[in-house]
Structures are given as C-alpha cells and as structure tokens.
Amino acid sequence: MQFSDLQLCSPILEAIKSEGYETATPIQAKAIPVILTGKDVLGCAQTGTGKTAAFAVPILHRLNERRVALQPRKPRCLVLAPTRELAVQISDSFKAYGKGLGITRTVIFGGVGQNPQVDALRKGVEVLIATPGRLIDLMEQRHVDLSAVEIFVLDEADRMLDMGFIQPIRRIIATIPQQRQTLMFSATMPTEIRRLADQMLKTPTVVEVARVSSTADQIEETVYRVEKRDKPALLAHLVKELPMYRTIVFTKTKHGADRVVRHLSKYEIKAEAIHGNKSQNSRQRALHSFATNKIPVLVATDIASRGIDVDGITHVVNYDLTHEPETYVHRIGRTARAGASGCAVSFCDREETANLRAIEKLIRRQLKVVNSPLPPSPAPEQQDNRQGGRPSFSDAARGGHQQHQRQDRPQPNDQPQQRDRRDSRPPVGGAFGRPQRPMHGGQRPTGTHAPRQPHQQPAGRGAGHRQSSQPSQQNRPGGNRPPKRGGGKFRHPMRAR
C-alpha cells in the first residue's frame, strides 16, 4: 500500500515523502486506517517493522484535524516508552512526520536535570513522550496533568513489564480520562500483557505483523560453537574478516560490554559500549559515532539497546547467547530493518547450549551451526605449559588470513575442523553433543556474511523477498561501506531530524 492511498493530510504526506518512504510497511498499512477512525489498537509488532510511524502518523493527523488552544502542563497525547533512547527516537519521529504541522511536543526521561522538561511542560505541549519513572516524578510535583489526554500510547509493553514498570504504568493510566483512544504495542503477548490490554483497551482492533516466533526472512543467522575464552578472538576475527561494517554486539552484563570494548581495542578495532552505567551524554556520543561510521562496533546490553534506531546495521552479534529466546528475536531485529537484509551471528559456548535449544524451539527451526574458524586456545591449566602458544589474532591477521580462508574457514559441507594435536580437548564444534549439520543447499558458506543489499523500495520485512542472488558486499567494488537504502541514494544511517 502506498502512503498516498491512506487518507492523510498533505503536510504529513509531504513529510513522509521527504523521509524517502512511499510504501507503507505491513504494520503501517494495517494500523494507520484503524487509528485514523479513533479505535483502540493492540499491535503485536517488533521494533524494525515501522511501528513508530504506524502510530505517530495517524496521531499527528488526528491532532491536526481538531486543533485546540495549548494548555500549560496538559498534553493531548501521551506516549510511554521504556527507555530514554526509545523515547528520544519516538520524539524524533513525531518531529519528522509532523514537520509541516506545528504540533508541539516534548520528551521527558530520567538521568538528566528536570528543569528544561518542566519549562517545556509549562509552556504547553500537544504530544508528550515520556519514560514512566520521570513522568511519575513530574506528576507528583504537579508539573504534568494528564486530565486532557485524548490519545494514549503504550509502546514496547512487554519490555515495560520486564523492566518492572507495570505498577508505575497502572498509576499513570489511573490519571488519564477513560474517554480516550488507546494504542498498545508489544513484540510479544505474554499473559500479563494480554491482561493489561484487557484492562486498558476498549474492543481493540488487533494488528499483528511479524510474530515473535518468526525471525525476519532477510536475516541470515549463524551460530558459532566457541569456548567462552575464545570469544574475544573470534569476534575480532569476524569483524575484520567478514568484514562487519556496522555491528551491534550484545552482552549479558554491563561489565561484559566494557570487557568486549577493551578486547577489541587490543585488536585495534574501535568500539564503544552503551549500558546503564554510562551517562546519557556518553551513550548519545557512542550512538552518534556508530551512526556516522566513526566506529564499526557498538557493544550494548539488552536494556540499553532498546530503541536504538540506526539504519543499515549489517551484523548483530550475540556475544552471550541469551537465556531468553524472545530477547534473541529482539536482538537480531536490529538488523534487516525496513526491508534491508542483515546477518545475525551468535556465539554459543558449552554452557549456552540449552539457550540455543530454547531459541530454536521458539523460532521453530534449527539454526545453522558452525565451528569457530580459529583454533581453540589451550585450557587455562594448559596455558603455562604450552610451547609456542596459540597464534595471536594479529599473527593470524599478518600471515594467516589467506591461509585461514583456504584451510580453516568452515566449508559448505561444514566438516568439523582439524584439531591442533597439542590440544587434548575435543574440537570446539563437536564437543557439545550436537552433530554438525550440513548447510542447506544454496546457502552461502560461512564467512560470506556480507549482508544482501536492502530492497530498492523498502516495503517492510513483511515483504519478505530475499535477494540472495545479489553479490555480497565484500565482493563489490568499494565493498567496505555501509549498505545503501532508499533507492540507492546514500541515506544517513541515523535519522537526520
């Protein structure tokens, strides 16, 4: 469906056009007409499906249809988001799609001084985008009054639940008028979310696009069997060897994220971490460096990564294979957004085998599993005795890459690699009691993880075309560049709003 087929006012259509979008993604095609009628919507959609525009665009249209005088501290629309990053990005979307309308908005979140936020509220805004904690703080201080809210959006409801926001949300909802339009979006629909939806929404239209149990067609997923201690070397190797142009690496913990950054710097790979211990400024700086190609790797914890909206992410690395299968789906959804393609690479050590099984159960298929292309390092107890030691990555980089490409990189038939005879341990891949499966016919061998080109006309992941016949990025002249989108015109990866 084209945006021009939707009954939207011309300034919004113009703004959408200037963003480079013509075709509505599936969630937009389904949700926008319903929201325009004023009905409640329960949207089951992951990030990356274009869901922000799916609610921001019709909300702007409706607010614009009936303009009222600004009232200090009394927004007409409230959008709740779980993290400040997501809140900022939602605000940017309202700004972009509403640029010809003059609809006022502000975003409020914790971790920064409240005075500028209070000032903005005092002047009056039509759209308020907020994280729950700061909103409650400001409500208690009477800087915000929700009694004039006409449209309420709860975004990423399942994450809100994970982050313990359910009570604050109930408190907030209790102060919003019953007579309102409510839109609730969630990537997953566990029982508690359904219960919340039953309480919040009135005969909602359910709009579902990509079920959480299905990962995007455009994502090529590979799992590397690797010992925990070999993960840093494998990551550095893949960043250089594939190469990975714009990569998000997910770690379980904040310290783990910092450790990965330190390890990568030993291999002369620039990376920065974003997590809850970092200041808002340093997170924004890291995101900016990443989006402007100053660093190829961003290392993030799951919570900090929520709402990162950088286009053209070529690779997602699950450095720690999460024990929450839904989180795997969320993580890999950072790549292959809005019709582009991408690669998800997961490191699975022996303790994470059960996590791999759980993920495969959720997505209802087996993932392609290959051995680490690097020789396993000796176990810690062997390290002192070893002679000569494992070749360092820089050794491999100096003379070993070509050799590695010929000999060590798993071949399409994916045979377990030969073992170093000095190492008495079993090979990395076959040791976890899971037979290695051959790759499916037609799949590219591991190591050709260069993503396919995004669609010329992004149509959302629901369009589902794979472009596997495209040459890989690394084979293309000037291949070490981020992919283009939007009809081949290079588009800044971060929304320039």
- Other beta carbons less than 10 A from residue 396's beta carbon: 22
82 binds ligand AMP (CB under 6 A): no
Stretch that binds ligand AMP, among 44-52, 251-259, 288-296, 405-413 (CB under 6 A): 44-52
Residue 342 lies near ligand AMP (rule: CB under 6 A)? no
Instruction: Read off φ and ψ for residue 202, nearest 5 degrees.
Output: -110, 120
- Please say which residue, 28 or 355, places its beta carbon nearer to ligand AMP: 28
Q: Would you put residue 337 in left (φ > 0), alpha (ψ -120 to 50) or beta?
A: beta
Question: Is residue 130 within 8 Å of 87, Cβ to Cβ?
Answer: yes
> Residue 165 carries which DSSP code?
-
- Provide the minimum distance between the beta carbon of 23 and ligand AMP in the complex, in angstroms, as a whole number: 6
**Shortest distance (Å) from residue 58 CB to ligand AMP:** 13
Q: Which is nearer to ligand AMP, 143 or 306 (CB)?
A: 306
Part in contact with ligand AMP (CB under 6 A); list of ranges 47-55, 198-206, 270-278, 380-388? 47-55
446 binds ligand AMP (CB under 6 A): no
User: Which among 43-51, 114-122, 200-208, 382-390 is the span making contact with ligand AMP, rule CB under 6 A?
Assistant: 43-51
Nearest distance from residue 247's CB to ligand AMP, in Å? 17
Tokens of 77: 């629309």
194: tokens are 């359904």
Site membership for ligand AMP, residue 53 (CB under 6 A):
yes
Please tell me the count of residues contacting ligand AMP according to CB under 6 A: 18
Tokens, residue 463: 């369009």
Q: Which of 17-25, 32-40, 346-354, 431-439 is the region at the interface with ligand AMP (rule: CB under 6 A)? A: 17-25
Q: Under 8 Å CB-to-CB from 159, ≥6 apart: which residues?
A: 82, 83, 187, 306
Residue 305 found at the interface with ligand AMP (CB under 6 A): no
Q: Is 327 helix (H, G, I), strand (E, B) or coil?
A: helix
> What minimum distance in Å lies between the beta carbon of 120 and ligand AMP?
24
Q: What six digits make up the tokens of 117?
A: 């936020």
Q: Is residue 264 a contact point for ligand AMP (CB under 6 A)? A: no
Q: Which stretch binds ligand AMP (CB under 6 A): 24-32, 167-175, 282-290, 461-469?
A: 24-32
CA pair distance 157, 170, nearest whole angstrom: 12
CB of 391 to ligand AMP, least distance (A): 41
- Euclidean distance between CA atoms 217 and 124, whole angstroms: 44
Eight-class DSSP state of 385: T
By CB under 6 A, residue 400 contacts ligand AMP: no
Does 52 contact ligand AMP by CB under 6 A?
yes
DSSP-assigned letter for residue 444: P
Return the DSSP state at 494. B
Among positions 337, 390, 404, 461, the unique one binding ligand AMP when judged by CB under 6 A: 337
Residue with structure tokens 């061998």? 445
Choose one: 50-58, 77-85, 194-202, 348-356; the region binding ligand AMP (CB under 6 A): 50-58
Positions 309 through 328 that interact with ligand AMP (CB under 6 A): 309, 311
Task: Check residue 156 for interaction with ligand AMP (CB under 6 A).
Answer: no
Identify the H or E element spanning 86: helix 84-97
Would you state the structure tokens that stand for residue 462, as one six-digit string?
């629901």
Reported in sequence order, the residue ranges of 211-279 that DSSP labels E, i.e. its strands, are 219-225, 247-251, 271-274
| Residue among 43 and 256 whose Cβ is closer to ligand AMP | 43
- Indicate which single residue of 6, 8, 15, 25 sits in contact with ligand AMP (rule: CB under 6 A): 25
Q: Residues, the chain, total? A: 497
Hey, which residues does 274 pair with through a beta bridge?
Answer: 300
Binding site for ligand AMP (CB under 6 A): 21, 23-25, 28, 47-53, 309, 311, 337-338, 458, 495
